[in-house]
A and B are shown apart, each in its own frame.
Chain A
């Protein structure tokens, strides 16, 4: 009994973190039609920046905000300065993001050395919630709450603002959106910056629980890919449902079928790709 409850709570926590990681990935994929292979790098970079700021004695939320802003800036610059030059050429763009991911990985190694960093959980979030002899680290519940707040904010942004309408128009048909006067190229920069910022924020939130180390980038990237393939590209609801689905699948799958640990996450992805290639909530792209 206790095992199941622990796993259930942990599934939700992992789901919250995965949503922070994959929502931006999904938006970028949906709008720009490229899987941004630097997404894991943004996550790791955010985590490293957050850890560094925390080590300087900053408040956790201030550190999170600063790293998020820094990542937004970095993301925006990468889109403006690099990806822009290859506009309309998805394959070179994907290769560019892959190269960028390697460069970021080595830069992080130079700057932060190979040692793993694990910031202490912030003091005011350190508590343990005890229910019937079971321990739930408060911080994991906070991650869930934060994930939900971000989900609602993104939903409001995309579904209820003029900017959101433009993004949706760009996702649906970029060429027509241009024709009706939407500056799609500005949207590209904006969405890329937003995606990077979300990943960076996820990195800071994840740091006290995942720790930060070289290789974290390429551990997180496949998770973002799986979530987005399950949920459907460009769909925030898809990213949300996909994240929690993967959270549960990961926790219960590892515990129930330890021998399938390596494939447990990829099996459902395979099934979805065969039966519903556009993902659970994705639209069919003509």
Chain B
């Protein structure tokens, strides 16, 4: 007699059902672990943010004892090397070989753009940290949610604040010459000029620039400077800005990567007084943030910033979706849909919910960098509630326009 595999399976299922019927411990506790694949960057110039991403999700899983919604969780970490080709390879690896249930990451916008179609074709949910606007806008992907922010989400706020609260009339912008920089600056410019300000100069140093002096020398007479640098570039830029005597004379504003809390330990006096708009602040007084900051201090001796907080929140989203789906969490399509429905009241960055395109709606903080007891801290001076990726604009009109680029929307007030 041959025993068909299907027969055995049926038998196992039947006995499982029997166990539930007589009130035995739920069978899913012994089922295969829920697999989370983390696409991060552990080598090369982007490693700084990538390492923080891994620390953030590791801190979350440790707090939860590697168990989410009653089920064991396995974390698989893949190093993309911080480039689109590497992201694609590693995405294939975690989806096809490891068969992960959900992907967290990647870090950089061009990495996300390289894999967004691939995860949709393979029906694997992805929780992004990367900011590429269109992935949750004109080319929204039903398998992607983003609990961090689009490139423009924080700088819209900064633009509004610069015009209305700071009353700056004329501002120069400077940022890395790549998609994240373009999107940030264009969003700043749009919100700032709509609130009455004028962007009179836009400077675009290449991503790799050994010395920012020639660019800073071109800034000229303005009331303020907004910078959108990322990675290690803010450190270099702000030192040169202070060295050339502009600090204290021309106020400096920054995006979230430019003054991330995790970057503070690399900065010195040149950063004091810099204002920034960010979706996360290590000083936020929520229960989960207190736990998170304490865990990061204890395990890694660091103050967490947006990269690690973004991944902690991503972990919370996974947990919430698993709780909703219960035993159906292995259905990847259902998981993606459940992730879109997640609404959390307590995360390190405050309350979080998602719009229909999968992008977060949450708080954005304006912070001022102060020196307290010899340490730099970003003190929150204003909080904007329920900030969406569309800011105060009408969603339909916003989406009818092209995506933010280096030259869109056009700057009409440039001076030489």
**A positions within 8 Å CB-CB of B:** 3, 6-7, 10, 14, 105-106, 109, 113-118, 120, 128, 135, 137, 139-140, 208-211, 213-215, 219-220, 223, 250-255, 258, 261-262
Residue B206 lies at the interface, judged by CB distance under 8 Å to chain A: yes
Tell me, in angstroms, the Cα distance from A258 to B416 when the chains sit together: 12
Contact A114 B213 (CB under 8 A): no
Tell me, in angstroms, the Cα distance from A253 to B206 when the chains sit together: 13
Contact A116 B48 (CB under 8 A): yes
Q: Do A117 and B266 contact each other (CB < 8 Å), given the known contacts A211-B239, A258-B203?
A: yes
The 0/1 profile, CB within 8 Å of A marked 1, for residues 207-224 of chain B is: 010110111011000000
| Residues of chain A contacted by B232 (CB below 8 angstroms) | 116, 211, 213-215
Q: Which residue of A lies closest to B204 (CB)?
A: A258
In the assembled complex, the CB of A142 is this many whole angstroms from the nearest CB of chain B, namely 13
Contact B267 A118 (CB under 8 A): yes
Q: Which one, B42, B211, B218, contacts A250 given CB within 8 A? A: B211
Query: Given A7-B213, A10-B217, A261-B206, 14 other A-B contacts at CB below 8 A?
Result: A10-B214, A14-B211, A109-B47, A113-B51, A115-B263, A209-B239, A211-B232, A211-B266, A214-B47, A215-B44, A252-B214, A254-B215, A258-B203, A258-B218
Ordered by A's residue number, 26 sampled pairs between the chains whose C-beta atoms are within 8 Å are: A3-B218, A10-B217, A14-B210, A14-B211, A105-B43, A109-B43, A114-B46, A114-B50, A116-B266, A117-B266, A118-B267, A128-B245, A137-B243, A210-B210, A211-B232, A211-B236, A211-B239, A213-B232, A215-B45, A215-B232, A250-B211, A252-B214, A255-B217, A258-B203, A261-B177, A261-B205
Q: Which one, B44, B45, B210, B245, contacts A220 given CB within 8 A? A: B210
Contact A106 B43 (CB under 8 A): yes
Q: Which 3 A-B pairs have the closest CB atoms?
A: A215-B45, A114-B48, A116-B232
Contact A214 B48 (CB under 8 A): yes
Contact B51 A10 (CB under 8 A): no
Q: Looking at A3, A139, A223, A253, which has the most chain B CB atoms within 10 Å of its CB?
A: A3
**B positions within 8 Å CB-CB of A:** 42-51, 177, 203-206, 208, 210-211, 213-215, 217-218, 231-232, 235-236, 239-240, 243-245, 262-263, 265-269
| Residues of chain B contacted by A106 (CB below 8 angstroms) | 43
Tell me, in angstroms, the Cα distance from A120 to B267 when the chains sit together: 9
Contact A6 B244 (CB under 8 A): yes
Q: Do A219 and B218 contact each other (CB < 8 Å), given the known contacts A114-B50, A135-B245, A211-B239?
A: no
In the assembled complex, the CB of A51 is this many whole angstroms from the nearest CB of chain B, namely 11
| Residues of chain B contacted by A6 (CB below 8 angstroms) | 213, 217, 244
In the assembled complex, the CB of A170 is this many whole angstroms from the nearest CB of chain B, namely 32
| Residues of chain B contacted by A3 (CB below 8 angstroms) | 217-218
Q: Which residue of A lies closest to B267 (CB)?
A: A118
Q: Looking at B211, B215, B218, B263, which has the most chain A CB atoms within 10 Å of its CB?
A: B211
Q: Which one, A114, A120, A208, A254, contacts B205 given CB within 8 A? A: A254
Contact B48 A113 (CB under 8 A): yes
Contact B266 A118 (CB under 8 A): yes
| Residues of chain A contacted by B269 (CB below 8 angstroms) | 120
Q: Do A255 and B214 contact each other (CB < 8 Å), given the known contacts A6-B244, A118-B239, A137-B243?
A: yes
Tell me, in angstroms, the Cα distance from A255 to B266 when the chains sit together: 28
In the assembled complex, the CB of A131 is this many whole angstroms from the nearest CB of chain B, namely 12
Contact A115 B265 (CB under 8 A): yes
Contact B48 A210 (CB under 8 A): no
Q: Which residue of B lies closest to A9 (CB)?
A: B213
Q: Looking at B205, B210, B214, which has the most chain A CB atoms within 10 Å of its CB?
A: B214
| Residues of chain A contacted by B218 (CB below 8 angstroms) | 3, 255, 258
In the assembled complex, the CB of B91 is this many whole angstroms from the nearest CB of chain A, namely 22
Tell me, in angstroms, the Cα distance from A154 to B250 when the chains sit together: 43
Contact B266 A115 (CB under 8 A): yes
Q: Do A251 and B48 contact each other (CB < 8 Å), given the known contacts A118-B268, A137-B243, A262-B206?
A: no
Tell me, in angstroms, the Cα distance from A123 to B149 when the chains sit together: 40
Tell me, in angstroms, the Cα distance from A265 to B266 when the chains sit together: 30
Q: Which one, A139, A213, A214, A251, contacts B214 given CB within 8 A? A: A251
Tell me, in angstroms, the Cα distance from A261 to B204 when the chains sit together: 9
